[in-house]
Structure 1
Amino acid sequence: MTSVPTPIPSRTQFVLEAVKHRILTGQLAPGQALVEVELAAQYGVSKTPVREALKTLAGTGLVVMNQYKGVTVRMVDADMAREVYDVRLLLEPEALRRTVHSGAALDAAREALERADSATDTAERSLANREFHRALYVPCGNPLLARMLDEVRDQAALVSAVAWAADPSWELEAGEHREILRRALAGDADGASLALHAHIASFVERAFPAPRREDMPI
């Protein structure tokens, strides 16, 4: 039987994935300029696929396009982080609760957790953690809910990359991931949902704590 060759991704898709990977693994820092000519030379393509890739990344919230400043990696501040994580808090625990109720297999989540535990660098660990969370909500039985979470997934990963650069708290979060998965595998839908909610809430509070009342302007 003749195997069908894997389609070669388009130049735009190639540039898109390459730039996204560099952003989400901290190789391109928030605020850093993304110059079309430079990226085209780096990836051996014309400016057109670079321009299209950057437009797509702007649509997902990873870069900002400004007619005066050009294209830059999106800056991450407390307001942006809380907005993204608020969406996750509203949707992701419910998606996991439905996943557990459905009895869906969670092999992909277990495998992602193992990859994260054995990761040798922050980039590899970050990508594995993203896959872990996605593996929990994709089988929820509601494709629209899964797509809504996918839409904030990249921005959440950008927040995580910035937070980890300041405070590499991955060991604590890895323990929380194991507890979430343990409850899910035990069929404890509500317990897994509550553990996930606490995990998401505590991360953003540690990384971007709300200002104390005495620090707020009068």
Structure 2
Amino acid sequence: MTSVPLPIPSRTQYVLEGIKHRILTGQLTSGQALVETELAAQYGVSKTPVREALKTLAGTGLVVMSQYKGATVRMVDADMARAVYDVRLLLEPEALRRSVRRAASLEAARTALRDADDAADTARRSLANRAFHRALYAPCGNPLLARMLDEVRDQAALVSAVAWAADPSWEREAAEHREILRLAQEGDADGAAGALHAHIASFVRRAFPGAPGKGEQA
């Protein structure tokens, strides 16, 4: 049976998801060059879908495009972490507070916690971590607020990938996740929001000492 080649938009999406997954799980490291010809060969496509995928990833902040250096994985430093995590500290606890007050279902968060506990490798655990946080803010009742957090989600995951590569702290963070979810399930909106704020702030403070901690401003 002869396989039918994917149309260009589908090929672009295939390449985009593949590169994105490799970046967010640390297989492609901060500052690493992304060579179109090499990626095209790896994914079995022409350079066109690779080029389009890299442009899209540049728009989300995961890739940097330079006229002289070409495309590279975005470098992560304290300044970048400060900007991304300041947005999370301002918005994510409030979104969770609203989710709890709406008595929104948190089943997806429970599932993500189980997936993280059962994960066989760092990549799957990282993806489960992202799913957990999104499950807390997505049902907040304000689509614009959720969309704003979605826009920094990939960059936050990139910060986490770099930090975890240097200092894996899964068990501590898993315990914090369980406490956040416990408070949320009990209907303690302010307690859950406070625990989430402390969780986000302590992570970035440990990983990037120059970034803001609880109560600090970027």
The letter for the 2-side match of 1:200 is: I
The letter for the 2-side match of 1:35 is: V
Please name the residue that 1:185 is paired with. 185
1:1-218 alignment, distance < 5 Å: 10-210=10-210
Inter-partner Cα distance in structure 2 for 1:36 and 1:96: 40
Inter-partner Cα distance in structure 2 for 1:40 and 1:204: 35
TM-score by length of 1: 0.92
Identity %: 83
**What is the deviation of 1:191?**
0.4
**What is the deviation of 1:118?**
1.3
Does the CA contact (< 8 Å) of 2:33 and 2:71 recur in 1? Answer: yes
Inter-partner Cα distance in structure 2 for 1:126 and 1:40: 26
Inter-partner Cα distance in structure 2 for 1:210 and 1:86: 12
Inter-partner Cα distance in structure 2 for 1:71 and 1:105: 40
Structure 1 spans left out of the alignment, 5+ residues: 1-6, 212-218
Mean alpha-carbon deviation: is it higher for 132-141 or for 117-126? 117-126
The letter for the 2-side match of 1:119 is: A
SS of alignment partner, residue 34 of structure 2:
coil
What whole-Å deviation, never above 9, does each CA across 1:80-104 have from its counterpart, x for those lacking one? 0111000000000000000000011
Equivalent residues, number = 205
Does the CA contact (< 8 Å) of 2:79 and 2:210 recur in 1? Answer: no
Inter-partner Cα distance in structure 2 for 1:167 and 1:46: 38
Please name the residue that 2:3 is paired with. none
SS of alignment partner, residue 45 of structure 2:
coil
What whole-Å deviation, never above 9, does each CA across 1:39-95 have from its counterpart, x for those lacking one? 111111111111110000000000100000010000100110111000000000000
Inter-partner Cα distance in structure 2 for 1:27 and 1:17: 13
Inter-partner Cα distance in structure 1 for 2:152 and 2:12: 21
Structure 2 spans left out of the alignment, 5+ residues: 1-5, 212-218
TM-score by length of 2: 0.92
Segments of 4+ moved more than 4 angstroms: none
Inter-partner Cα distance in structure 2 for 1:117 and 1:206: 22
**What is the deviation of 1:150?**
0.3
Inter-partner Cα distance in structure 2 for 1:16 and 1:157: 16
SS of alignment partner, residue 32 of structure 2:
coil
Please name the residue that 2:216 is paired with. none
SS of alignment partner, residue 10 of structure 1:
helix
